[in-house]
Each structure stands twice: as C-alpha cells, then as structure tokens.
Structure 1
C-alpha cells in the first residue's frame, strides 16, 4: 500500500494493467452485479434536478423508471442507481453495436451538462472504501473486465493511468501528479 495525501492506495492500482475494451465486454459493468452503481449524495441531488436532460436519451423502460426513482437507498444509507428488469442500470442505453453506454455521459458529450457520469463509474475498476479516519482506493478485480486487463497489459497502461481524468476529477491535479510520481518510482524500482 502507498499513501498519497492521506489516501491509502492499493498496490494493485499501480501494478495491474487496465484499458476498457467495450467492443469485447459490451459494457457489462452496466448490467452485471447485484446492485446499481454507487452514487454520491451530490449526484443524487443532481439527478433529481436534471432528470429532464437525461430522459430524452433513455430507452422506454429507463424513462418510465426515472420518472419515479432516480436513485435507490440501501439499508446502510448508501445511494445506488436503480435497475431495469434485466438488471441494467436505468441510465444505460444500448448503441447500434449492442454496447451499453451511459446516458448521462451521452448528454455530457453533447455539452448539455457538466456531470460526466457517476464518479463510481468513472473511477471503475477502482472502488473507494471510506471510514471516519481514512479513505482507501482499491482495485476491484471482476472477470467481466478480463478483456480490459488483456488490453491494458498489451498497451502497458497501469490502472491509475487509465483512470487519470477520473482521479483528477475526484481528487484534483495535485493528487494525481503526486500519485503518478510515487507510482512511477515504485514501478521503476520493482521493474513492473
């Protein structure tokens, strides 16, 4: 483990390679799993205030669900994206190639919003674990992402570098630069 600005970084975030390969996985992370994507409170508020920006690009089931439920809340108080009957996130849409895409991101790409997508999605395969006294960034290994691991190994891209824009979005440029400096030194010393 490494520490950057009070955040505990798993070595797997530095040592493992990862580059999403949507042609291979078809956006499986938007439909697989036992729950929706984690949402921060500010993202739930944003969805409640801006749902009219997103609904035009949603499929019919997503539109219907989004009218009454923008987020679900678990017993522990954590918020998640609601799911369609097939288990897909209500904000996911299929493109012409059958790849699941984020409708929030599609609206962002059109310049209609400043929210790219939920930060938990943007940071994946990093998952943040918090306690009162610390925050840890861990690599979440999932077999549906095997093509991304293969692609990352082929291109020699560490997880944290693949997620540069997401890490900067969450923690800032200074955090990322410090992480990159420490990780680069670690990689050169361990010859990864």
Structure 2
C-alpha cells in the first residue's frame, strides 16, 4: 500500500472553521446559528450537536544530542511553509497523551526513538489556533531519516542552527540556546537572543 505522502500532494490536518460547517456530522441535518456564552456557534436543532471551536493540541520536541551539542530539525514536506525548517512535532491524536504524541511524531518525522527529559513549555501559536507543548528529549535509538511528512531530517549544531520557519518554534529554539549558554557559561554566538 502506498504511503499518504506518495499518493497525496497535500494532507489537510486542520478542521474547517465553523462558518464552513453546513450539516450536522452526527445526524446530517442542516446546522443553524445559535448564541451560547456570547458567541455565535453552529447548532443542530434536530439532535443538539454544537460545534465548539477549540484550539488544536500539538507537541514538538527539541531533540538534543548533548555530546555533539546538536539538535534535530526537519524540513516540511506539506503546507504551510513547505521547505522550511522546524522542530519535529505535530498534532495529538485521540487516545494518546501529549507526551506519547511527542514521541510518536519524532519517530514518524525523523526515524529516531527518543526519551523525553522534561517538558520545556506550552505556548499558543500566534493565531491561537494551536496549543503546542514543547519537550526536551534525547535520541536513544533508530536512524535519522526523513519520515512520511518530512522532506528531510538533519542534525544541526545548536549554536549554528538556522532560523526556523514558524516564529513559535524559532522562539523556543532561542530560549533553549539561552538556557544552554547560562547553564554552561557559553559565549553568545550572534545567533541567539
């Protein structure tokens, strides 16, 4: 069976905004507008379904190899930002914890098995559509290779890693660089904040 990346030019993982929901996903009846808590929401008068727009949970990992002082970055295969560098990560699937999603996404995108050392922080994306929990982890197995939704996966020197395509990922990388400089009393290299 062909992989999704081979059969589709683009894999859409976001849900549609409320304005695009015309029919109830439970019973198929038309949706109407109804106000709850001061906000208009899509509502099914037949079965009571309400479309509650919520931010999507996601996880990303700063995969750090401490002996070489390197970090793993992936090149995006799909929109948005095709060809841009990011930290490995993606959406939390139903039935898995945020930590499980982080480990799975690293494996899918990089081929590496990782252990999560700690949670680095949780932030909303600039549009507030996604809430991302960032973890610090280190590789314990596997082989570095691009997975199904990454065009490439590589180690980069932490000190010289390029800017990342998503501002939140880039900010988290800068925070990690600052933390490492403070912990090890390293000089600034002009790359970080």
Q: TM-score, normalised by structure 1?
A: 0.27
Pair member with larger Rg? 2
* Bigger RCO of structures 1 and 2 (CA < 8 A, at least 6 apart): 1
More helix by share: 1
Q: TM-score, normalised by structure 2?
A: 0.27
More strand by share: 2
